[in-house]
């Protein structure tokens, strides 16, 4: 038996299950990162600094057909579009989870577009497609749990080589050349132009 897709809506202490009439034919998951770019004199390309990840989005078309029942299809589509409404108790749209087989996507409905394609002679719509976009939502705790423990924000040591410069070391270690002062401060370096090859310096851990 084919498993039906379900939208689980969380409204405070209450949970609501919305069954879609037909499983989607396809869906797309979009993920991206945000970077800032720093131009360094003498370099052919700017230095990329990671700013943050963008929330993953899940987009699909949900099909609804009530022609055989001769009932208003908006009875079903309004439940999907209604997930954009602000809940009076939450003061925000509710969280929801789209579940279908191995797909378990937790987030909020970011956008919903309704398209009606069949009507009764009375004008009542009986067939519709809702293009819906869910945006992933994670708590601060959940996001920190996903950060690798061996990240670049842990204190380590590095040996100065001929031609090294603090801004270049900062770019390699932190992906931000402007953080060279943190390295200088941690090692008591007053003149960053006078680095002695063979010297072991600390690459300090960054906080917040």
Token look-up 């992933």 returns 136
Q: Which of 23-27, 93-97, 111-115, 186-190 has the lowest mean pLDDT?
A: 186-190
Question: What is the pTM assigned to this prediction?
Answer: 0.67
d(CA 56, CA 105): 10
d(CA 135, CA 20): 19
- Tokens representing residue 104 in the block: 């378990």
Instruction: Read off the pLDDT of residues 118-152 as tens digits, 9 standing for 90 and up.
Output: 999 999 999 999 999 999 998 777 776 666 554 55
d(CA 97, CA 17): 10
Contacts of 194 (CB under 8 A, 6+ apart): none
pLDDT of residue 97: 96
- Tokens representing residue 145 in the block: 């749990």
d(CA 161, CA 199): 8
- Tokens representing residue 68 in the block: 């055989």
Q: Cα Rg for the chain, rounded, in angstroms?
A: 26
Nearest CA among 67, 58, 55 for reference residue 5: 58
Instruction: Read off the pLDDT of residues 40-50 as tens digits, 9 standing for 90 and up.
Output: 787 788 888 78
Instruction: Read off the pLDDT of residues 62-113 as tens digits, 9 standing for 90 and up.
Output: 999 999 999 999 999 999 999 999 998 889 999 999 999 999 999 999 999 9
- Tokens representing residue 21 in the block: 């009439």
42's torsion region: left (phi>0), alpha (psi -120 to 50) or beta?
left
- Tokens representing residue 44 in the block: 């052919």
| Structural domains of the chain sorted by starting position, each given as residue range(s) with its CATH number in brackets | 6-145 (2.40.30), 156-203 (3.10.350.10)
d(CA 177, CA 171): 4
């Amino acid at each position: 038996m084919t498993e039906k897709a379900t939208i689980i809506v969380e409204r405070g202490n209450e949970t609501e299950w919305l069954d879609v009439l037909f499983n989607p034919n396809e869906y797309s998951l979009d993920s991206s990162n945000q970077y800032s770019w720093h131009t360094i004199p003498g370099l052919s390309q700017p230095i990329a600094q990671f700013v943050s990840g963008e929330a993953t989005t899940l987009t699909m078309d949900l099909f609804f057909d009530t022609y055989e029942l001769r009932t208003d299809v908006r009875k079903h589509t309004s439940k999907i579009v209604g997930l954009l409404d602000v809940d009076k108790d939450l003061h925000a749209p509710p969280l929801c989870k789209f579940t279908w087989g191995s797909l378990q996507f937790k987030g909020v409905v970011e956008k919903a577009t309704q398209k009606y394609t069949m009507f009764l002679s009375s004008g009542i719509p009986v067939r519709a497609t809702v293009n819906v976009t869910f945006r992933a939502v994670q708590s601060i705790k959940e996001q920190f749990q996903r950060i690798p423990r061996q990240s670049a924000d842990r204190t380590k040591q590095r040996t100065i080589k001929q031609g090294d410069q603090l801004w270049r070391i900062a770019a390699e270690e932190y992906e931000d050349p402007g953080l060279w002062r943190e390295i200088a401060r941690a090692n008591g370096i007053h003149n960053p132009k006078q680095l002695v090859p063979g010297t072991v310096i600390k690459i300090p851990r960054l906080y917040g």
